[in-house]
Amino acid sequence: MQTTPVRWTTADLEFFASDRKNRYEIIDGELFVTKSPSWDHQSSCGNIVTVLNNWSDETGLGKAAIAPGIIFSDSDNVIPDVVWASHERLKHLLDEAGHLTGAPELVVEVLSPGAKNEKRDKETKLKLYSVQGVQEYWICDSIQKKVEVYRREQAALKLAVTLFSQDELTSPLLPGFNCLVSKLF
């Protein structure tokens, strides 16, 4: 007997609105459920958004946020850990409810423990962000204290560099931005 897999939509997420213990995301109609992030995970997210917003305050070029929802489509609705968008792009991305409806320039995911979580961030979300037009994607590993930086090259996100604690993170997307990787963890 052959079964057709369920295709989840943004409307289906309402079923889980009262659940504060888990995160629910939909990628290509598939539901992904993860536990609420740990203290260390959220601490790293706070460090990342702080360095990005400090740079943004100095330059006036954009804004970073922790865990904003991005509704790319009815079957692609995700909650990245951190995003940065230029002021110019941001005014076109926000809907009436304040949700992002398109790709910010930069998306950052902090890995949560477990092979399933790592596969989701390094494969499924990488593909989604690539297709949706994200310009740069950082995957931060707080256990190994490293950052994998993916940059848009020939219409796809490709691994540009892997940086470790003692390395300096820079980005052509963020002119003049620099930060020791160790400061993110």
Per-residue pLDDT tens for 62-118? Answer: 999 999 999 999 999 999 999 999 999 999 999 998 899 999 999 999 999 889 999
Strands 136-141 and 106-110: what pairing? parallel
Closest CA to 13 of 65, 66, 76, 68: 76
Mean pLDDT of 134-160: 97
Q: Token digits for 9? A: 């939509």
User: What whole-number distance in Å separates Cα of residue 119 and Cα of residue 48?
Assistant: 22
Its pTM stands at 0.94
Model pLDDT for residues 18-35, shown as the tens digit of each residue: 998 999 999 999 999 999
